[in-house]
Amino acid sequence: MLNRQTNRRVIAALALAATLGMTCEMARAHDESKYPDFSGQWFRTYGGNPRYDPTKPIRKQEAPLTPEYQARFEASIKDQDEGGHGLDRGYTCLPQGMPRQMSGVSKFEFLISPKVTHMLFERTEMPPRRIYTDGRDWPQTEETWFVGDSIGKWLDTDSDGRYDTLEVETRNLRGPRVWDQSGMPMGDDNNTVIKERISLDKSDPGTLRVEMTTTDSSLTRPWTVIKTFKRQATVWWTEDNCPEGQAHVTIGKEVYFSSGDGTIMPMKKGQPAPDLKYFKRD
């Protein structure tokens, strides 16, 4: 009887030790002190329209576009000046995708865990970003996503034993995409590669710096910019549903506007009416 009781105690002690060991290991794995304080709500620091390069106006980004894509951009601007949307499909409420959704279109927050860092955005047409930091390789797939696949790595750049920079690379982006609401187009081949270095400003922990370099077939060279965001002192999330109150009606290649009296209005001067061949006319 004594031996059985002893064995039970030993087994119980071993089980307890294993449980405590797992608990300690989990605690170490989720040690928040190892990571920078990205908590809170982040919003863009500059005024005007959200854009890739915040230091330049939206229509004068001076992007290193190839002649073909420069011509497409100019055609988009011309269509917008005539009352259309150009190449910007934001009115459809489709996800805006990367890198556009990192231009401060929406407030966002970070959720950090050892294997993946999530970025959650306030607006519904901004899907969550999942930045995997578990050492995985790129997925062997031809599937694409509006936010792409993101693989990251935490860096301790000043060797103080604490991470301070999140280095991210994003691929497998779905098109067609534009840089901003001007309709400046991105490459048709979906071979865009975006590299980011995300860190707090060393002199102001309330400022987030994102150094972004985009390589895209619409460009003659990689395009690097610095984006800055401020931490919101009081976090306040609102509900922003893009489809709510949607008044645009797309028929074929034309976009019309649904008026208050329930009829379809043209969006620009001289716009042709929809084809009514399937409707009986009086």
Contact between 263 and 240 (Cβ < 8 Å): no
Question: Alpha helices of the chain — where are they, by DSSP H?
Answer: 2-29, 67-81
Strand duo 116-121 + 129-132: pairing: antiparallel
Token pair 């001007």: residue: 182
Contact between 236 and 107 (Cβ < 8 Å): no
Report residue 112 as tokens.
């950090």
| H or E element that contains 230 | strand 223-232
Backbone torsions φ then ψ of 13, nearest 5 degrees: -65, -40
Domain ranges (residues) in the chain:
41-232
219 contact partners, CB below 8 Å, separation of at least 6: 63, 64, 65, 66, 69, 187
Q: Does the structure show a pLDDT above 70 at 6?
A: no
Q: Does the structure show a pLDDT above 70 at 5?
A: no
Instruction: Report which DSSP code applies to 112.
Output: E
Report pLDDT digits (tens) over 53-67.
999 999 999 999 999
Report pLDDT digits (tens) over 159-173.
999 999 999 999 999
Say what the pLDDT of residue 24 is.
Answer: 46
Q: Does the structure show a pLDDT above 70 at 13?
A: no
- How much is the pTM? 0.82
Count CB atoms within 10 A of the CB of residue 52.
21
Burial of 88 (0-12, 13-18, 19+ CB in 10 A): buried
